[in-house]
Amino acid sequence: KRGAILISGGGSNMVALLEAARDPSFPVEFVAVVSDKANAGGLAKAEALGVKATVFERRTYGSKADHEQAILDHLAAEGVEFLCLAGYMRLVSGSFIRPFEGRIINIHPSLLPLFPGLHTHQRAIDAGMKVSGCTVHHVTEGMDEGPVIAQAVVPVLTGDTAEALAARVLTAEHKLYRTAVTRLFGAGTATDDRQMLISLG
Ligand code: GRF
């Protein structure tokens, strides 16, 4: 399957996916990286890994719809059939999702449905959680609420700062994302949204 990765920042999850895709048995070949930010650190990392990276700055488009359409046109031109959002900090609309229905996924740094949105690590600490983790899920119009594909659990340690927990979760994200993609395509036929993979990070 021809895939693309959408980023807005450093792209460490993108790097993990691109490195996993070097294995010929990995079910996705990533042919494009797209960023909505020209200053995304992940752009140079993608090029260094041999994948063309293209910027679509939001402010150069008159509307969200125009911005999304420009990205969709680029993805269509590259024959992309599968999308991984990886640190892409923008909500995508229903008309963006529709052409990729069931084939657009995201990674979120919490155990959804707990802590959708931002600042997940501080919120987990403040709530007194003893575990946290990350979730790969199907992307739907709502924020961080699509069917869960896979989750990884990490401990919250006494005295953890948000930064310490974020680093621990990020390591688990890098492993989870490639495992989730493999399972999504590898195991069986249609993606059974209830197909749950629990891996202890
Ligand atoms: C990660 O925690 C990811 O889950 C969140 O953004 C953070 C940075 O991701 N969406 P990356 O290093 O840009 O992949």
What is the predicted ipTM? 0.94
Q: Whose CA is nearest to atom 1 of ligand 1?
A: 87
* Tokens read off for 131: 């575990």
- Please provide residue 184's backbone torsions phi and psi, each rounded to the nearest 5 degrees: -60, -40
So what's the pLDDT on residue 196? 47
Whose CA is closest to atom 5 on ligand 1? Answer: 87
Position in ligand 1 atom list of the atom nearest CA 120: 2
The closest-lying atom of ligand 1 relative to the alpha carbon of residue 87 is: 10
Residue with tokens 């990205």: 71
Q: Write out the two tokens for 154.
A: 């990490």
**What does DSSP assign to residue 136?**
E
d(CA 156, CA 124): 9
Confidence at residue 200, expressed as pLDDT on a 0 to 100 scale: 46
The secondary structure of the chain in percent helix, strand, coil, rounded to multiples of 5, reads 35, 20, 40
Quote the pLDDT of residue 188.
43
Question: How does pLDDT run along the chain (201 residues), one tens digit per residue?
Answer: 999 999 999 999 999 999 999 999 999 999 999 999 999 999 999 999 999 999 999 999 999 999 999 999 999 999 999 999 999 999 999 999 999 999 999 999 999 999 999 999 999 999 999 999 999 999 999 999 999 999 999 999 999 999 999 999 999 999 999 999 998 887 544 444 444 445 444
| 108 is annotated as an active-site residue | yes
* Binding site feature residues: 11-13, 64, 89-92, 106
User: pLDDT at position 186, please?
Assistant: 72
> Quick one: 72 exposed, middle or buried, by C-beta within 10 A (0-12, 13-18, 19+)?
middle
Which structure tokens are listed for 33? Answer: 């990286």
Q: Is 22 helix (H, G, I), strand (E, B) or coil?
A: coil
Predicted local distance difference test score (pLDDT) of residue 201: 43
Q: What is the pLDDT of residue 185?
A: 84
HSE at residue 58, side-chain half, CA atoms within 13 A, is 11
CB of 102 closer than 6 A to ligand 1?
no
Which residues carry a binding-site annotation for (6R)-10-formyltetrahydrofolate?
64, 89-92, 106
